[in-house]
Structure 1
């Protein structure tokens, strides 16, 4: 579960969205905090000015004080009537940005109370017999929260859309690179987005075009050489009948057969297009072609548990299995274990022999074209293309291949394919 969550958030879109949203939220709340502080300072200054005028007039001329009170919008309330007049009981000091700013300026022993609903400010100087009530000059911050929340949500939506638009060219580039890596041809990427991404897409298009051209030239050359070799090989096989001794004839036929297998591998490796033959059940194909003998002496032992849903093109499946089983019997030791299963939402096809395996340092290298590890798995009639052909075929069908050594000895080739596999 933890790994799944980590993968879910490990994308450019999610990271860019979270970063942008985080910055917007931080700036938004910082702005609200600063606005609230400034509002408190303005309200406090106004309250001090009005309070000082009201207090002085009250002390000098009570009659004039009522007129000033009407002008300033303030009122005088006796201490004994404060709670009844609306002062929040028990008319004790409240603490907020306005109160903290206003109280020190009024002198020691002064009291400041702010009503939470109306934001009216109640001020009483030290030992005064009355409270001065001033209406809130500015609405409380809570009055802005609805509009603030709406603005924040709008900014987040814009940020998500912006992040999505930015990551689209990168995602398209990654998809094209993956398609080219698994051998599905060259897919040009639209040169969209910021200038850097457009330049990257253009360079990528040029690079894959040049690589594809080089690959085609190599494939044509390889196929041409292999095709040209078939004719002399056929003539050599025919001339083997002219040899006088059976031993010489058998030896020459073995050599020509080895050469023919090498040529076949060359042609298989040079083939670029995906095979579009009919899909067949992998379990059914394995039983039909390799399940005739299932006893202790069987060269190939089956353990098929994937079910009918696991299907691959018949020609490609035959090429995969024939290459792997031939390698296992040639370089490893029988029996060859051929198994299928469902594991973590994927179909798995696994081939294992009981030979000496491959040195751990060479497990990745052995999958490359034309690599032969003579010290560990030497043989004849092979040019190091078997695993490379299988790897290319597996990738053609959105699969992955892993080559490991079994704990009890032998080489294990594990291929996994998306579940479910459907015929297309």
Structure 2
């Protein structure tokens, strides 16, 4: 069982194939055993007894006939019953020949002759013969019959049964697994679209009752998710609009303060208003549908350079051109949020590297901060989750930067990973999708390369 699981894939088709192999195998084994023991063996035993009787009777009859009639008797015996009689031992074939029916014939002959009888084989004119020694009146006669006299072909029959069983099992597996896996594949694809932030089309609520009910429940859940997202966006947009109005009045009130107001107080009030505006902007940004944007052919090395150039405490090594077809705005926001997060939590240098050696480019952002505990590497990707306990935005941020980056990564099939850096700190990797160039992308890439070469 474990051996079969190792070679059979862990898919619905593989599981169904494994189940049918054991089911049909057990049924075939039981059926074959019943047929063999209750039908074939009695028939074979009776046939062997009749053949042994004919062989013994033929040898004894030959000895009782006058010499001038024996040749005619041998000829008729060979023609009508396919049995030959010889006084000399035939040249035996030393090769072992597997034929279970011979065992029955030997047992029947031994029972009639009251001694052990061994059948030997020979090959004459391309045909195999079976011979047994029969003693008559003190003389030994060799009685033989050809393989063609026994029309059974057990090995060929078993081969045909095995081949037909395998074909039927494969066809049945394909039909059953296809009927079940086809709607499940559609459901899995739709669920993946929902996870990436898209709204998939309604699944057809047809087929078996269980699958139709599953599709109905998924459609209902998808509709509720769309409504929740729409309500969240509308709510945050409404809150943003309602809060920006009093913020604008506060700005106006601060600007109209008397001239003798302490400058430090005015600066602090303006800073608080700016922070409130930034919080509202980020909250609205999170509430939007952070889905996949339009993919375009970009140079990742240029994008990384633009993000890191002029940044204090940021080092980045310029690499050769690295073409990638991706949503440039999404990558810029993801890397920008990671870079901002690294600068906030680390007072040392932050390193940004681009690895474009394989078909899947990776951007690394490394810092030497306090690091993220292993148990919280996934939790920090949730909205408003912060490792720093205070509500101070300067030390703990808003808890939305990584959440926005995570949602953008999911929507654009980008793999965002956070890990602990050896020696202290955090390593964040942005692994872009595998580049599969279609015709338009190849032409665009050639055009970009040609313009770059001409420049």
Q: What is the CA distance between 1:78 and its match in structure 2?
A: 0.9
Residue 56 of structure 1 pairs with residue 57 of structure 2: yes
In structure 2, C-alpha distance between the alignment counterparts of 1:113 and 1:371, rounded to whole Å: 88
What's the counterpart of residue 403 of structure 1?
418
Within-5 A mapping of 1:64-213: 69=77, 73-80=81-88, 82-83=90-91, 88-89=92-93, 95-107=98-110, 108-113=115-120, 121-125=130-134, 128-133=140-145, 135-144=148-157, 147-148=160-161, 151-152=164-165, 154-162=167-175, 163-213=177-227
Aligned residue number for residue 355 of structure 2:
341
Distance 2:243 2:346 in 1: 29
Q: 1:418 aligns to what SS in structure 2?
A: coil
The separation in 2 between residues aligned to 1:336 and 1:93, in whole angstroms, is 80
- Secondary structure in 2 matching 1:232: helix
- Secondary structure (helix, strand or coil) at the match of 2:393 reads coil
Deviations 1:342-377 (A, max 9, x none): 476422122222221222222211111121222499
Counterparts of 2:156 and 2:335 in 1: how far apart (Å)? Answer: 73
> Is 1:241 matched up with 2:250?
no
Which SS does the other structure have where 1:404 is aligned?
Answer: strand
How many corresponding residue pairs?
Answer: 411
- Asked if residue 317 in structure 1 is aligned to residue 335 in structure 2, the reply is no
Q: State the match for 2:308 in structure 1.
A: 290
Q: 2-side partners of 1:316 and 1:292: how far apart?
A: 21
Is the contact between residue 190 and residue 201 of structure 1 (CA under 8 Å) also seen in structure 2?
yes
Cα distance in 2, alignment partners of residues 179 and 8 from structure 1:
29
Task: Report which stretch shifted further, 357-366 or 373-382.
Answer: 373-382
Q: Who is 2:448 aligned against?
A: none
Q: Deviations over 1:228-261 (max 9, x none)?
A: 2222223323333233222112111211111111
Give the distance between the partners of 1:58 and 1:334, measured in 2 at CA: 109
Whether the aligned pair in 1 keeps the contact of 2:87 and 2:141 (CA below 8 Å) is: yes
TM-score by length of 2: 0.76
- Shift in Å at residue 75 of structure 1? 2.0
Equivalent residue, structure 1, for 2:246: 232
Report the equivalent of 2:449: none
Cα offset for 1:418? 1.5
Give the deviation of 1:195 after TM superposition.
3.4
CA contact (8 A) 1:41 1:98 kept: no
Q: Is the 8 A contact 1:355 1:409 kept in 2?
A: yes
Q: Is the 8 A contact 1:179 1:186 kept in 2?
A: yes
TM-score normalised by structure 1 residue count: 0.81
1:370 paired with 2:374, answer no
For the 8 Å contact 2:119–2:130, the answer to whether it is kept is yes
1:267 aligns with 2:284: yes
RMSD of aligned alpha carbons: 3.8
Q: Is the 8 A contact 1:12 1:167 kept in 2?
A: yes
1:349/1:416 contact within 8 Å kept: yes
Deviations 1:167-194 (A, max 9, x none): 2222222222222112122343334554
Structure 1: state its 5+ residue gaps: none
Mapped to 1, the partners of 2:317 and 2:335 lie a distance apart of 14
- Shifted more, 378-387 versus 360-369: the winner is 378-387
Matched residues in 2 for 1:71 and 1:415: separation? 87
